[in-house]
Chain A
Amino acid sequence: MKALAEFAARTPVLVQGASGRMGRRHTQLMRDYGTHIAAGTSLREAGGNIDGIPLFADCHAATRETGATASICMVPPLETRAAVEEAVAAGITLIVTIAEGVPVHDALHLRRLTQAAGVTWIGASTPGIALPGQAKLGFLPNVALRPGPVALITKSGTLSYEVGYRLVQLGLGQSSWIGVGGDAVKGTRFAELLPYLAQHGATEAVVLVGEVGGTEEEEFAAALAAKPIGKPVLCLLAGREAKEGVAMGHAGALTYGGAGTLESKTTALQAAGAEVFATTAALVARCAALFGRQA
């Protein structure tokens, strides 16, 4: 988590897949937001540039020439494994992969690889991370971003946009926004963010946006109960009506039998001292009360 704690507007960032349709657009949007985009990779356009940002054939050349330490990987799902392997080998220490649909065996391989290498991997299937008002890696919408006291950690993109947007409407904002992503196997799980959240000075409260499936919320609850962070934790959980055995849009949002149900997550989180809400309105109202705003 060291690379995540150290991420800032000055961190030199590499965009993998910078010349694709998505890559080109978001390279510019991220830079406009304040992110220090130092380099991009592009097989087709190596040697060229996007608005003055130099493009390289591979990660090695990009890190060697620009000193980039973080990467935002915008390649398609079946190419994500090779792209992360390349970034790790080139010495990148923080990697965000946005692709939706990375095969789970690829993700398992990458999780083991990045952990062994001491690299922080966020994703896949995430809109990214942001330090509102400073920098973002990915495509979190500016309309939902505003500096403030609430750390937002989320599986879902759109539901977190809704929460972030409503915090902004209240005049509240976010200290840090981390989309861990909707896949079952991922680079960074909710529980692994607790040490970061505990020490993060700008964070006064944590909002966790979770959903049905998997055991991530339960793991987070167990870790929180074992080592409280001394900050309020508010949770919104989606998927009460999810259909058993069918992935509801997210590969990780899948239930079989009793595992991964909202009941199990709610019980565990409440036992750890977190508050759990069934509607966005209730969560937002609690945030408002916590910080003395009018909901």
Chain B
Amino acid sequence: MLLVEADGKALLRQYGITVPAGEVVRDAAWAAPAAPRVVKAQVTVGGRGKAGGVALCRDADETEAALKRILGSSIKGHAVHACLVEAPATGRECYLSILLDAGAGALRVTFIAEGGVEVESHALTPALTRLCAPDEASINAALAALTDDPAVRDVGGKLAALFLREELMLAEINPLFVGPAGAVAGDAKLVLDGNALHRQPGQEALLRANATLYPDALRKLDEGFDYVELDPKGRIGLITTGAGLSMMLVDELTARGAHPINFLDIRTGQLRGSPARLIRVLEWLSEHHSLRVLFVNIFAGITDQREFAQLLAAALQAQPCGNVPVVARLVGNGSEEARRWLAEARPDIAIFEDLEPSIAKVAEFAA
């Protein structure tokens, strides 16, 4: 997952990379200093500058105006709760990154002497980018082939150590300001591996310190399954398992103008005879007053649908979502008996074996 810039810079600093002096500001009434400042929205999404999330301010008035404008606004659907306010760095703007290149099965080290927001326009020739093995010596050798600037090589060496020890997927500094006094990281785009969090306690602490910025990642860490909020004003609550099938359902419903609140991969194999996980999800969904229908879609290869049906009935019995209508599509192991049992236990539920009619029914409730 992408860290916000301020957290990314905290990691850079930890590995000895210089970053500008700055402060995280959450209140627009903050007393800005008279000197020039850069104000940057702290959101977990790229392309902030082009979306109006970055302001270069000449004095306190401009800084305060920028904070007023950006704090509380929304950048690409992400609410801005905090801004990083920094002294502007100076020097030549360069681009430096280490990427885990999944297609190549290697790391990719890239250095471009002219960085900045238009960096994507550069064709990535071998003079600018190199593939290498995932170890420090190989990264340093790759970087040495791309630049002979000692300040850049120094930052690159530190970034290599960070990338490997923190098990990152991407570490990008753009711009990297290079001047006579050395190199300063003007920005930080660090992407963590959510699957490595269990053995990276420092990262977990970093996420928890800013919990409002990383709700989906922390939820997965704490609950052991994926729940992603898609549309807080959506009308459909999804009780689904499997990432691909759940994504496809979200696509197909949205294409019909029916908007799911959430994506869910509940992993039925991990319920272990308790409705607790289902009740948790129902509680989260119940917080959305727009909820009109619950759509249960479980394709069980292994999980016994008879057991799942009972857990579902028990969870619904707890009534976290009141009397909102339920559409359930159950198929797979033991599903015929499960559907029959559920129909008797909960005659109010619309039960289906096939997906298409169940989607149509849900769209009807959500209309």
Across the interface, name the chain A residue whose C-beta is closest to B107.
A108
Q: Give the residues in chain B near A162, CB-CB below 8 Å.
A: 245, 248, 299, 355
Question: Is the CB–CB distance between B247 and A253 below 8 Å?
Answer: yes
- Total residues of chain A contacting the partner, CB 8 A: 64
A135 adjacent to chain B (CB < 8 Å) = no
Scan residues 88-125 of chain B and give those whose CB is less than 8 A from a CB of chain A. Answer: 100, 102-103, 105-106
Question: Is the CB–CB distance between A104 and B169 below 8 Å?
Answer: yes
Task: Report if A105-B254 is in contact (Cβ < 8 Å); known contacts: A156-B243, A245-B2, A281-B356.
Answer: no
Q: What is the CA–CA distance of A103 and B265 in the complex, to the nearest angstrom?
A: 19
Could you list 17 A-B pairs, sorted by A, with CB under 8 Å?
A: A112-B105, A115-B105, A141-B300, A143-B331, A161-B332, A162-B248, A162-B299, A184-B100, A185-B100, A214-B102, A239-B247, A241-B247, A242-B247, A246-B1, A246-B228, A250-B243, A280-B248
**B204 → A minimal CB distance (Å):** 14
Task: Report if A249-B247 is in contact (Cβ < 8 Å); known contacts: A104-B100, A104-B195, A158-B242.
Answer: yes
Task: Report if A249-B167 is in contact (Cβ < 8 Å); known contacts: A115-B105, A141-B300.
Answer: no
**In the complex, given contacts A105-B134, A112-B106, what are 14 additional A-B residue pairs having Cβ atoms less than 8 angstroms apart?**
A103-B167, A104-B193, A141-B332, A143-B301, A156-B242, A158-B241, A158-B299, A162-B245, A186-B102, A189-B103, A209-B244, A245-B46, A257-B46, A279-B252
State the main secondary structure of chain B at its contact with A.
Answer: mixed
Q: Which residues of B contact A (CB under 8 A)?
A: 1-2, 44-47, 76-77, 100, 102-103, 105-106, 133-134, 164, 167, 169-170, 191, 193-196, 198-199, 216, 226, 228, 230, 241-248, 250-252, 254-255, 263, 265, 299-302, 331-333, 355-356
Question: Is the CB–CB distance between B196 and A160 below 8 Å?
Answer: no
Question: Is the CB–CB distance between A251 and B76 below 8 Å?
Answer: no
Question: Is the CB–CB distance between A161 and B245 below 8 Å?
Answer: yes
Question: Is the CB–CB distance between B244 and A256 below 8 Å?
Answer: no
Contact of A143 among B102, B196, B242, B332 (CB under 8 A): B332
Contact of B302 among A141, A240, A279 (CB under 8 A): A141
Q: Give the residues in chain A near B44, CB-CB below 8 Å.
A: 245
Contact of B244 among A111, A156, A243 (CB under 8 A): A156
A101 adjacent to chain B (CB < 8 Å) = yes
Question: Is the CB–CB distance between A165 and B100 below 8 Å?
Answer: no
Task: Report if A251-B194 is in contact (Cβ < 8 Å); known contacts: A154-B244, A189-B103.
Answer: yes
Scan residues 231-263 of chain A and give those whose CB is less than 8 A from a CB of chain B. Answer: 236, 238-253, 256-257
Q: Give the residues in chain A near B263, CB-CB below 8 Å.
A: 242-243, 248-249
Q: Give the residues in chain A near B194, CB-CB below 8 Å.
A: 247, 251
Task: Report if A141-B242 is in contact (Cβ < 8 Å); known contacts: A103-B193, A161-B299, A246-B216.
Answer: no
**B294 → A minimal CB distance (Å):** 19
Task: Report if A215-B332 is in contact (Cβ < 8 Å); known contacts: A156-B244, A249-B263, A251-B195.
Answer: no
Q: What is the CA–CA distance of A256 and B300 in the complex, to the nearest angstrom?
A: 32
Q: Give the residues in chain B near A77, CB-CB below 8 Å.
A: 195
A159 adjacent to chain B (CB < 8 Å) = yes
Question: Is the CB–CB distance between B299 and A249 below 8 Å?
Answer: no
- The 5 nearest A-B residue pairs measured at CB: A156-B244, A158-B242, A249-B243, A141-B301, A159-B244
A117 adjacent to chain B (CB < 8 Å) = no
Question: Is the CB–CB distance between B244 and A244 below 8 Å?
Answer: no
**A224 → B minimal CB distance (Å):** 15
Question: Is the CB–CB distance between A247 and B1 below 8 Å?
Answer: yes
A173 adjacent to chain B (CB < 8 Å) = no
Q: What is the CA–CA distance of A248 and B216 in the complex, to the nearest angstrom?
A: 10
Q: What is the CA–CA distance of A280 and B329 in the complex, to the nearest angstrom?
A: 16
Q: Give the residues in chain A near B243, CB-CB below 8 Å.
A: 156-158, 182, 211, 248-250, 253
How many A-B residue pairs lie within 8 Å, measured between CB atoms? 183
Q: Give the residues in chain A near B134, CB-CB below 8 Å.
A: 105, 108-109, 112
Q: What is the CA–CA distance of A216 and B102 in the complex, to the nearest angstrom?
A: 9
Q: Give the residues in chain A near B300, CB-CB below 8 Å.
A: 141
Across the interface, name the chain A residue whose C-beta is closest to B272.
A21
Across the interface, name the chain B residue whose C-beta is closest to A112.
B105
Q: Give the residues in chain B near A256, CB-CB below 8 Å.
A: 2, 46, 170, 191
Question: Is the CB–CB distance between B356 and A211 below 8 Å?
Answer: no
Quick one: which of A141, A160, A236, A246 has the most chain B CB within 10 A? A246
Question: Is the CB–CB distance between A215 and B248 below 8 Å?
Answer: no
Q: Give the residues in chain A near B196, CB-CB below 8 Å.
A: 103-105
A82 adjacent to chain B (CB < 8 Å) = no
**A43 → B minimal CB distance (Å):** 21
Q: What is the CA–CA distance of A101 and B196 in the complex, to the nearest angstrom?
A: 8
**B355 → A minimal CB distance (Å):** 7
Contact of B230 among A139, A243, A253 (CB under 8 A): A243
Question: Is the CB–CB distance between A108 and B299 below 8 Å?
Answer: no
Question: Is the CB–CB distance between A238 and B248 below 8 Å?
Answer: yes
Quick one: which of B247, B255, B263 has the most chain A CB within 10 A? B247
**B178 → A minimal CB distance (Å):** 25
Across the interface, name the chain B residue whose C-beta is closest to A242.
B247
Question: Is the CB–CB distance between A184 and B102 below 8 Å?
Answer: yes
Q: Give the residues in chain A near B193, CB-CB below 8 Å.
A: 103-105, 251
A278 adjacent to chain B (CB < 8 Å) = yes
A127 adjacent to chain B (CB < 8 Å) = yes
**B266 → A minimal CB distance (Å):** 10
Q: What is the CA–CA distance of A280 and B244 in the complex, to the nearest angstrom?
A: 11
Question: Is the CB–CB distance between A245 and B245 below 8 Å?
Answer: no
**A211 → B minimal CB distance (Å):** 6
Scan residues 82-114 of chain A and give those whose CB is less than 8 A from a CB of chain B. Answer: 101-105, 108-109, 111-112
**B272 → A minimal CB distance (Å):** 10
Q: Give the residues in chain A near B2, CB-CB below 8 Å.
A: 245, 256
Q: Give the residues in chain A near B301, CB-CB below 8 Å.
A: 127, 139-141, 143-144, 157, 161
